Structure 1
């Protein structure tokens, strides 16, 4: 699982990326005049030269976008029955390519494990990582995160028919009688007990094994990432149900190599306008397809994100 693996496997460290505010000299610079003005203007000229070498322009010249992602974690990035790479992360990568080249196919995917996400960025193997990456303060010392595109969390998956409990309230009231299954993890009991302090906990070697135990009614609920739950409910309508309680929120965002504000700002512009502007229909269709979530149409008039 994405967020659960992220929380347990990485305690990121790295050099702090310092962001400096840049101020134009304007009339003050002109008033100084002569050599002094030239020396003060030199940093601005250097900045302009650096910005002109942004990865944004390198990608445009190359003619394709190179994206680091995965291939084994639905609904984020996985291969469908035909072997094609699909998922929410893949949709976002293709949206970037569409806005760069007016062609969503002009993207090369570099398939990698979660532990390769930061190394592939800082060594310029990829232009951007779009791979269900949880935003943490530690990682933000090593990469620049985009605005988040999903708020993950964990929840409890139940059987929609034939299960012992109908929802979270019934399980909490049942106390010690409840058994929850989840993927083996040193934090598993702690996480389950955040929601159900008295529940018994059974550990399994994978999320799939925990779901098999739920299907066999060996456990009353399976703790899963919320996105995985929504995906499974999409794949087997009427078989599974969300207990109605989620916890341990964390944000998913894309990441770019630090020090390139032009590239970061461009990606953020694409993501934001997909959520509230010109590409909303595309973004909403992806949310519906992968999570079964109907996004409300953004209100016109005053931008609500600033309200």
Structure 2
């Protein structure tokens, strides 16, 4: 969850303001322009530009499993990477016709606005502030914080047991100014222990110095995938936020096309691909969409 990102990246930008020159052109001089010159120019969609270029350019990261990270072979992998390759496959019938631009979280919006990338697929949280600067696709994951415990040998394996423990339980997490606030939203009486890294928190859990490890649910599920049977999900998550891709504003053709690909991956022709990614990265078995009336419109 990217809640500590620079607040400046969330400030409104004047993307839709009309400059003085534009205002002047809309004034009296336009009344005397030839009829053909007054016709609005149809904006060229990025979809057409990408097709002619022959490859998709995607902004993403490389250090945050299970979303985007380098495997042992040095190649990018993760849920975001799978989605980017699905877009390339849908464009060119070739998942490899994608160029990845690696960037930090603070570069996501600037890289779109300056046309450095065609789309950002980088675990981007949807917020009203960001929606003033970019256009979001439909969400592909609902993130939140959750609790992970030892499957064997620990005192607790369920959220209700932790809650009943009251002040006798200790929750560990990464050092963060919001750590205690986040823990106490779910467990008001719990003790909180902060650690400098995920590895240090995990070591404390394995050593039973803490009763549960609070982390983003996706990160927690990834850890559980790496050590099957060792850890267990508490079964409770809170502080939800949506992850979506983002595109530069003002191109409804491109946005609609990306949304079509994502929607049909979740509900239609590419469901098997999408479900396999969810299983691989999060250990989540997605239910097969029901045949017949589209339930998303029910």
- After superposition, the C-alpha distances for 1:181-225 in whole angstroms (9 at most, x for unaligned) are 111111110000001101111111222221121112111111011
1:1-307 equivalences in 2 (<5 Å): 3=1, 6-11=2-7, 12-15=10-13, 46=40, 49-50=42-43, 53-307=44-298
Secondary structure of residue in 1 paired with 2:3? helix
What is the CA–CA distance in structure 2 between the aligned matches of 1:139 and 1:208, rounded to whole Å?
31
Contact kept? 1:8, 1:187, Cα under 8 Å: no
Structure 1 residues 250 and 10 mapped into 2: Cα distance closer, same or farther (>3 Å)? farther
CA-CA distance at 1:42 after TM superposition: 8.1
Deviates more, 1:207-216 or 1:151-160: 207-216
- After superposition, the C-alpha distances for 1:25-46 in whole angstroms (9 at most, x for unaligned) are xxxxxxxxxx9xx97x988x52
Q: Give the root-mean-square deviation of aligned CA atoms.
A: 1.7
Contact kept? 1:154, 1:224, Cα under 8 Å: yes
CA-CA distance at 1:234 after TM superposition: 1.1
Secondary structure of residue in 1 paired with 2:40? helix
CA-CA distance at 1:163 after TM superposition: 0.8
Structure 1 residues 299 and 42 mapped into 2: Cα distance closer, same or farther (>3 Å)? farther
**Gapped regions of structure 2 (runs ≥ 5):** 17-30
Question: Residue in 2 aligned with 1:29?
Answer: none
Contact kept? 1:227, 1:291, Cα under 8 Å: yes
What is the CA–CA distance in structure 2 between the aligned matches of 1:7 and 1:234, rounded to whole Å?
25
Q: TM-score, normalised by structure 2?
A: 0.90
**Gapped regions of structure 1 (runs ≥ 5):** 19-34
Q: TM-score, normalised by structure 1?
A: 0.88
What is the CA–CA distance in structure 2 between the aligned matches of 1:93 and 1:107, rounded to whole Å?
7
Number of aligned residue pairs: 280
Structure 1 residues 42 and 154 mapped into 2: Cα distance closer, same or farther (>3 Å)? farther
Contact kept? 2:136, 2:247, Cα under 8 Å: yes
Secondary structure of residue in 2 paired with 1:105? coil
